[in-house]
């Protein structure tokens, strides 16, 4: 990455240097309509203001400035990859230290730049569809050992295709949205009949989500080579899970009420272009996938991930898991290819989730069911409290970044707090 410097002061450990420029949706204040912005350091650049001042005038954007005065990124994303790149390149130039247009215009800077801690971040996209995959071999193996034993940890199809299920798009929320503990049917140990109860085994899942930008046509599969053209960017994602509800209901069709009550995502969408310097090869796939799933290019990312837990009595959170996205077995290109091989179409705003990202050591497990090994090994926190699964008042935060040379491409964070159940 070429050394870049902004006229805006950006700390070396900031998640949002000039090399990043993630897109999001925000409200400057309670009275002002939502609009699209870009994060730079501790600030947000208001693209509606920039567009109104005629500074987004490239061939892909000159007739579409209205897309930046929207309550979601969808209209902007629908313009396609050339428009995404034009917008990012133009903003990068405007924010460079040697570019006077914005730097020397005090009035325009006052209108266009807002402090991040003084704005409200909104859900970045109108989510059309949501698919959650199961792409970490370590995570799948750990759960398989708990449920079926070491000899049958991975199901026979797992090494041949990305396993996934279609989730509930309507319950995807932006970071900072708290939620009530879910209720449902639970089968107690050694019981003959289920009971209705609030979940007692509530979990978090450290995941990465990919935002679809460009539509595809119904009936037309997308190859692994073409998949990146349809993905705008990446968010952090927490797919909260009620393990006891899930255990009773998942056979024969898979997750339903145990998963669909809440999924949290980070507000800033980091573009694939920003992540380009951090692309790495994933694990060697053996056996070799079928031809439609073979991916010649490296499409994993050297993305450091952390999950933190803060209980109601703690002043600072504890880091409970540290892992890296580079070891995920099935990459997003393979997920897109598999998802569309039967003719299923993509729509702007769709989200593909990686599934829980886990490493091969206990401290790298991306869910509490792994960290406490099914409730058998409680975690002891710094204040002496213990946890197997989440309790009311617990807050979980996921954060992540790619570390460059004196800069990092960060995602900010996704946080949520568990509230008491609304019914028992």
Active site members: 139
Spatial contact of 389 and 373, defined as CB atoms under 8 Å apart:
no
CB neighbours of residue 66 within 10 Å? 11
- Dihedral in degrees, nearest 10, Cα atoms 97, 98, 99, 104: 70
CB neighbours of residue 97 within 10 Å? 11
Tallying the residues shown for the chain, one arrives at 424
3-state per-residue secondary structure call for 57-97: CCCCCCCCHHHHCCCCCHHHHCCCHHHHHHHHHHHHHHHEC
**Beta-sheet pairing, 263-265 with 172-174:** parallel
**Separation CA 76–CA 335 (nearest Å):** 24
Q: Write out the H or E segment, with its range, that includes residue 166.
A: strand 164-166
Spatial contact of 378 and 372, defined as CB atoms under 8 Å apart:
yes
**Separation CA 349–CA 341 (nearest Å):** 20
Contact partners, residue 234, CB within 8 Å, separation at least 6: 208, 209, 210, 211, 269, 270, 271, 272, 275, 301, 411
Spatial contact of 235 and 412, defined as CB atoms under 8 Å apart:
no
Q: Report angle CA 128, 280, 344 to the nearest 5 degrees.
A: 25
């Amino acid at each position: 990455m070429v050394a870049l410097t902004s006229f805006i002061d950006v700390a070396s450990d900031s998640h949002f240097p000039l090399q990043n420029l993630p897109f999001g949706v925000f409200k400057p204040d309670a009275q002002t309509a939502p609009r699209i912005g870009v994060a730079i350091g501790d600030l947000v650049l208001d693209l509606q203001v920039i567009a109104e001042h005629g500074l987004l005038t490239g061939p892909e954007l000159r007739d579409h400035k209205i897309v930046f005065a929207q309550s979601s990124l969808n209209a902007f994303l629908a313009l396609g990859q050339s428009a995404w790149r034009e917008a990012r390149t133009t903003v990068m130039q405007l924010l460079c230290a040697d570019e006077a247009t914005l730097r020397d215009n005090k009035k325009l800077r006052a209108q266009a730049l807002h402090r991040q801690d003084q704005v409200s971040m909104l859900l970045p996209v109108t989510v059309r569809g949501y698919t959650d995959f199961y792409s970490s071999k370590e995570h799948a193996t750990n759960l398989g050992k708990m449920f079926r034993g070491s000899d049958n940890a991975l199901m026979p199809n797992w090494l041949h295709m990305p396993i996934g299920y279609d989730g509930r798009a309507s319950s995807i929320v932006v970071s900072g949205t708290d939620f009530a503990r879910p209720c449902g049917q639970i089968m107690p140990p050694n019981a003959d009949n289920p009971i209705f109860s609030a979940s007692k085994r509530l979990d978090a899942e450290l995941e990465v989500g990919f935002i679809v930008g460009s539509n595809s046509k119904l009936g037309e599969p997308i190859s692994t080579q073409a998949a990146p053209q349809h993905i705008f960017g990446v968010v952090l994602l927490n797919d909260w899970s009620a393990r006891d509800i899930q255990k009773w209901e998942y056979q024969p069709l898979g997750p339903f009420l145990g998963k669909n009550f809440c999924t949290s995502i980070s507000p800033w969408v980091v573009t694939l272009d920003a992540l380009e310097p951090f692309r790495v090869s994933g694990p060697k796939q053996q056996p070799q996938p079928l031809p439609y799933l073979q991916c010649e290019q490296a499409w994993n990312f050297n993305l450091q991930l952390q999950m933190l837990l803060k209980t109601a009595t703690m002043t600072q959170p504890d880091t409970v898991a540290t892992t890296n996205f580079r070891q995920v077995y099935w990459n997003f290109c393979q997920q897109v290819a598999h998802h569309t091989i039967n003719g299923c179409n993509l729509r702007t705003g769709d989200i593909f989730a990686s599934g829980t990202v886990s490493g091969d050591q206990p401290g790298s497990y991306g869910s509490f069911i792994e960290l406490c090994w099914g409730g058998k090994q409680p975690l002891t926190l710094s204040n002496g409290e213990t946890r197997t699964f989440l309790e009311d008042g617990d807050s979980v935060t996921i954060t992540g970044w790619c570390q460059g040379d004196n800069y990092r491409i960060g995602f900010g964070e996704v946080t949520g707090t568990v509230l008491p159940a609304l019914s028992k």
